[in-house]
Structure 1
Amino acid sequence: MTDIPSGFTRLESTSPFHELVGPFYEKRDRATLIIGMPVAKKHINRRGAVHGGMICTLVDFAMGQAASTMTTPPRKVVTTSLSADFAGNATDGDWIEAHVDVLRSGRRVVFVNCFVYHRGERIARGSGTFLVLTPGE
């Protein structure tokens, strides 16, 4: 079992998919959002490292949380594009976290970047664009 670092609180599951791949934890202040997760056996690929698809899921979830909740008032958003690059790995029992930066938040589009860290080292980077939903969308 991975120890959850100080300052992180468990997020409620937002969908059956997040229930399947989670749990996720967050640490935030006014300007910063970090989403972390313990890597479990279910996240590991056949080479023994966290699956790239799981890292993409963490990146998408973290950036979506930031695009939605780092504005006042919070807004509903959907991912319109996502890019990820991998530079390292983690394995079962490790803790990884996505540090998110909202580059620009407009009326209809939000641009977000993040880095995924394991033991203080960057193992992935991501960028995404999110569409702000209007009532009825």
Structure 2
Amino acid sequence: MTTRSVLIEWEDADIIAQAGREMAGLDFLRALRDGRIPRPPVAALIGTDLTEVEHGRVVMRMTAAEQHYNPLGTVHGGVIATLLDSVMGCAVQSTLEKGRGYTTLEIKVNYVRALTKEVGVVSGEGRVVHAGRRSAVAEARLTDAGGRLYATASTTCLVFDLPPR
């Protein structure tokens, strides 16, 4: 058997979270995208990069790789769900004012075809469908460089005032 490894490094998650509390959602996400704030640990873990941010829309990219594989030799559905949950949640966050937060209440994922390392870079795009005072709805798509669809998702998020720290 051949052993493989991946080195994962990340910055202090508390510092990242505190920055998010002190900025409007869109400003925070732009700072993450531009590297002024380090990426969150989960992004380091699965290898996602925030590449596009606008009000109500976010794109992240990830290279499908062997460390994402399940026992069947394809990218684990949980990795795909994590990427799609991330882009939908960040799309919601992009609509929030300073002092507001969100959490995922539910997520539904539809897997369209198997994703393997041969596919290479995939893009998850999240878009807000509804942004209300107490809830938000978003949807996402996972595609390859040629636009081929691998999965879709939808979510409902609870939106709330962040408690004082």
- What TM-score, normalized by structure 1, do the two folds share? 0.80
Aligned to 2:143, the other structure's residue is in SS state strand
Identical-residue share of aligned pairs (%): 26
Q: 1:25 & 1:36 partners in 2: Cα distance?
A: 7
1:98 equivalent among 88, 109, 124: 124
What letter corresponds to residue 101 of structure 1 in structure 2? R
Please state which structure has a larger fraction of its residues in helix.
2
Per-residue deviation, 1:114:
0.9
Large movers: runs of 4+ above 6 Å: none
**CA offset digits 1:37-87 (Å, max 9, x no partner):** 111221112222111111000011111111101x15254211000000100
Unaligned runs of 5+ in 1: 1-8
Instruction: Number of aligned residue pairs: give it.
Output: 127
| 8 Å CA contact 1:36, 1:96 repeated in 2 | yes
Q: 1:57 to 1:31 in 2, by over 3 A?
A: closer
RMSD (Å), alpha carbons: 2.2
Q: 2:66 aligns to what?
A: 41
TM-score of the pair, normalised by structure 2: 0.68
- Please list the CA deviations of residues 90-131 of structure 1 after superposition, one character each: whole Å capped at 9, or x if unmatched: 212511111222000000101001111123111111000111
Q: Which residue of 2 aligns with 1:5?
A: none
2:48 to 23, 46, 49: 23
1:22 Cα deviation from its structure 2 partner: 2.4
Letter in 1 for 2:59: I
Distance 1:108 1:81, change over 3 A: same
Structure 2 residues not aligned, in runs of 5+: 1-32
Separation of aligned partners in 2, 1:23 and 1:33: 12
